[in-house]
Structure 1
Amino acid sequence: MELYLIRHGQSEANLHGIIQGHADYPLSGLGKKQAAILGEYSASLKADNIYSSDLVRAKETAEAIADQRSLEVKTWPEIREVGLGPFEGRTRIDILEKYPNLKHESLLTSGVEGTETAENITQRCREVIRLLKEKHQNETTVLVSHGGFISILLTFLMAGDEWPKMDRPFIIGNTSITKVEIDDTGKAKFHYINKTAHLEEKEESLTSTVLY
């Protein structure tokens, strides 16, 4: 089974440094341009299925990919961004004013009340891999998701349920492409991570990464 994990284009929240989580923001003008560039570039990638997070920034990006091929985008809530509760809709500076202890911590696994628990995220990762193996074992599938969830899923593929104990080393940029192969035993092989060659070839199409 081969997977292409793709992050959405720049959203309006990304543009203004706002933490999103489950909050639903559309693509920015640049994000729409990035998605179009991605769509053209990805036309050369093999794909049997395209799944998207149910959040609009991911769906808009997935549609740009689907426009280049005769595939329907299937919406999948399991691959939406990590829920960040009280952090959503706020800048990191605002968040740190109230939670200064998080200055050097990841917001994705802060444990703050109202944010999605590590246990729930783990269950989502398990379910995603299980369903993909069940339905698409011998196929190539595109998942259009979010920076936080993609970085966690990659860590989960490396460490399983122990992923919360690991430092996630992955930078996941807007419309970046990550290719993963999962063999019949469930072992993951990483072909490449955070590939943004399609944006690097276009002037002023890259964006800075929002760190969670």
Structure 2
Amino acid sequence: MGGEELWDVVEGLQTNGLLHYDYLVTGYIGSASLLKTVVRLVELLRQHNPNLAYVCDPVMGDHGRLYVKEDILPVYRDGIVPISSVMTPNQFEAEQLLGRKLRTEREAITACQELHGRGPHTVVMTSFHPEGVEDHLVVLASTTQPQEEGMPSSVRVQIPRSQAYFTGTGDLLTVLLLAMLDRRPGSLKTALEKALASLQAVLQATVEAAGDAAFAKDRDSQAQAVSFIGC
């Protein structure tokens, strides 16, 4: 779908009075034209509901490699970041948004805080890879939203690195985080911990369902897609 096709859908929704939403979530977007239309869509939806929360997973790449064309990056930086409520970049994507490498956890949490100044009130860096560490990942989060008494505005969670291969984990974490933040908007720590615990449970169920295929280097998308049934 391109930008024009998406806008045709939006106009149809508008004609039928179906543009009042509380949340908008976006993940992988493959073209600059479609991403620019998302900017227009958020602006339109906020005319109907100024409190609309826009949650953006800026899927651009990982492990030092872009998955998308380079012309998408400036649209994220200049168009999407300023209008986002919550962003969930991985380490590489955060580096692309800010134009610099993030080598330490201190630099990473500073990056989250810098993104606040550009738009989103909550930033979750979904995977930070400490140099020289192979057995775990770090998830870092920061918010400018008022927190419940005793709850921190910056959170660090360490999670084990799985040897299995999965698809869809970023999408799932983003929507789980949205659901948990809706329940506990004043406790980023609780929301993130519950979202990650739910994700780990789904991944474990996926490994059990896929068996040896979950660890195969030649990825089978059906076997390795996260399993929602029976979790």
TM-score, structure 2 normalization? 0.30
TM-score, structure 1 normalization? 0.31
Larger Rg: 2
Report 1 or 2 for greater relative contact order, CA contacts < 8 Å, sequence distance ≥ 6: 1
